[in-house]
């Protein structure tokens, strides 16, 4: 079948490549001529395991092409997939202007029946707005072309997106049209032939399902981080608690790991967008606001522990940081906890030696021109980052960090001190290996936590007094 994918970002590229790999003829459209040139030259703008060879194979087979010609894309596909970004606006709500612009483009060039599929994460009611934009564009041309609109949100995990697309847990299809349902079913049949995966519902329910799914997962993360804070106060081990509650099938083990909070392009943006949508609908999303607040606070947990350990004196010290991406198997640093850690350390006058298997290039781009960039070194491997550091901080749970050479690490560090934001190691093992070890919620005691909070409160009070003096002047 002929498929047009509008958008060559994360969702667009994965979707286009996977659909082409099933034998479809896919045209991927982007208005950025520079990006299209890079893609046509075999350069990917992002890292996703397995995506590069998948795109190369299907381009070589003639099933996948890239173009900036929106007219050609609008005429090509029986399926017109909208996979463009929906960034947060100043109020945290999702900005759907790019989605609606693509809908207008489709209407301006549509020549025969098509199924317009919105895969972008969009607020409830967007499918109706897409339908309206396409209809208005067709009316301006003075033509009548039949089309259907389907909401088909993506559920791809960065780092495992190809596997998620090829072997989906579910495929949510929002439509009230039987013909569109059967066509979408045929499009996804190569991925669902062994088990029925389509979950068909109305478009508004499909749109809310995407937000609800991400908000539920984010809630689990923030809940465990609150439990971790309590575990530290009472001397419990959150990892033991995690196993105890995860063994209950009603809870399960997914997304109940305490750490330095969630990041990425989805959870932070979608939770805020859902809060905004709820407010617009007259609902006070108190729980979601708490989920967001807990996560923002959790991103600074290692800094609080670090400052408590060093008595608030971080200036002039050097710290190693393992992990820059918000999660393993991606170079995505959007909303990454590592950004909060780096910014805080630089602000307090410390130097940072950071390493990430794939995200160093993205970090270099982000910190180019930063006023304190001279104190940030991006290292080529993990042990280089540890050389001469006053402590090691871990922000991303890459596999290569799980079982390092601890003897070598201890020799490289100026002091055998680890602040583990992902609970990769057992505290008892670290103690036997001669390390002073601080995890998240591992029962390492309330005294250190209380010291960190006291420092933070003292600084806040000082800032308040300074602000009051400024106002009085």
Between CA 137 and CA 121 the distance in angstroms is: 23
Task: Give me the long-range contacts of 457-465 (CB less than 8 A, separation at least 24).
Answer: none
423: left (phi over 0), alpha (psi -120 to 50) or beta: left
The vertex-276 CA angle with 273 and 277, nearest 5°, equals 85
Rounded Cα distance between 410 and 423, Å, is: 18
Check 18, 28, 83, 266 and give the catalytic one. 266
The bridge status of strand 147-151 relative to strand 114-118 is parallel
- Please give the sequence-ordered ranges of beta strands (E in DSSP) within 331-424, or none if there are none: 351-355, 376-378, 391-394, 417-420
- Measured CA to CA, the distance from residue 328 to residue 9 in angstroms comes to 19
Residue 62 vs residues 4, 71, 305: alpha-carbon distances, Å: 14, 20, 55
Terminal Cα-to-Cα distance of the chain (whole angstroms): 70
Query: Counting beta carbons within 10 angstroms of the beta carbon of residue 440, is it exposed (0 to 12), middle (13 to 18) or buried (19 or more)?
Result: buried
**Residue 266 falls in the annotated catalytic set:** yes
Q: Quick check: 259 and 327 in contact, CB under 8 A?
A: no
Q: Cite the active site residues.
A: 266
């Amino acid at each position: 079948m002929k498929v047009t994918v509008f958008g060559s970002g994360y969702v667009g590229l994965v979707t286009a490549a996977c659909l082409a790999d099933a034998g479809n003829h896919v045209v991927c459209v982007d208005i950025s001529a520079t990006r299209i040139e890079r893609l046509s030259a075999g350069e990917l703008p992002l890292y996703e395991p397995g995506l590069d060879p998948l795109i190369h194979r299907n381009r070589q087979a003639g099933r996948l092409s890239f173009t900036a010609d929106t007219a050609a894309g609008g005429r090509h596909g029986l399926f017109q997939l909208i996979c463009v970004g929906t960034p947060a606006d100043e109020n945290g709500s999702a900005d759907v202007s790019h989605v609606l612009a693509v809908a207008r483009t489709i209407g301006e060039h549509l020549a025969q029946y098509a199924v317009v599929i919105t895969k972008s994460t969009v607020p409830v009611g967007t499918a109706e707005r897409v339908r309206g934009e396409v209809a208005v564009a067709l009316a301006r041309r003075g033509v009548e072309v039949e089309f259907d609109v389907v909401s088909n949100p993506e559920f791809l995990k960065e780092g495992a997106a190809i596997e998620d697309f090829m072997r989906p847990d579910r495929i949510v299809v929002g439509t009230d049209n039987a013909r569109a349902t059967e066509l979408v079913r045929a499009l996804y049949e190569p991925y669902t032939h062994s088990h029925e995966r389509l979950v068909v519902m109305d478009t508004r329910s499909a749109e809310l399902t995407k937000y609800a799914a991400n908000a539920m997962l984010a809630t689990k993360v923030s809940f465990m981080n609150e439990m971790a804070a309590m575990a530290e106060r009472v001397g419990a081990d959150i990892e033991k608690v995690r196993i105890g509650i995860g063994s209950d099938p009603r809870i399960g083990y997914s997304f109940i790991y305490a750490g330095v909070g969630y990041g990425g392009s989805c959870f932070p943006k979608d939770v805020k967008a859902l809060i905004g949508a709820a407010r617009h609908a007259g609902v006070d999303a108190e729980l979601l606001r708490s989920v967001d607040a807990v996560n923002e606070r959790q991103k600074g947990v290692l800094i609080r522990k670090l400052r408590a350990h060093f008595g608030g004196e971080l200036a002039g010290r050097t710290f190693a940081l393992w992990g820059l991406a918000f999660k393993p198997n991606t170079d995505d640093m959007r909303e990454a906890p590592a950004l909060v850690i780096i910014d805080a350390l630089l602000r307090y006058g410390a130097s940072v030696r950071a390493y990430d298997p794939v995200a160093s290039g993205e970090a270099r781009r982000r910190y180019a021109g930063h006023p304190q960039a001279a104190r940030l070194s991006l290292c080529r491997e993990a042990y280089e980052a540890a050389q001469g550091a006053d402590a090691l901080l871990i922000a991303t749970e890459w596999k290569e960090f799980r079982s390092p050479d601890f003897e070598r690490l201890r020799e490289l560090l100026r002091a055998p001190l680890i602040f583990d934001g992902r609970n990769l190691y057992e505290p008892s093992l670290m103690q036997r290996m001669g390390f002073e070890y601080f995890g998240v919620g591992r029962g390492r005691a309330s005294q250190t936590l209380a010291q960190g909070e006291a420092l933070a409160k003292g600084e806040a009070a000082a800032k308040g007094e300074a602000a009051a003096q400024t106002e009085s002047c």
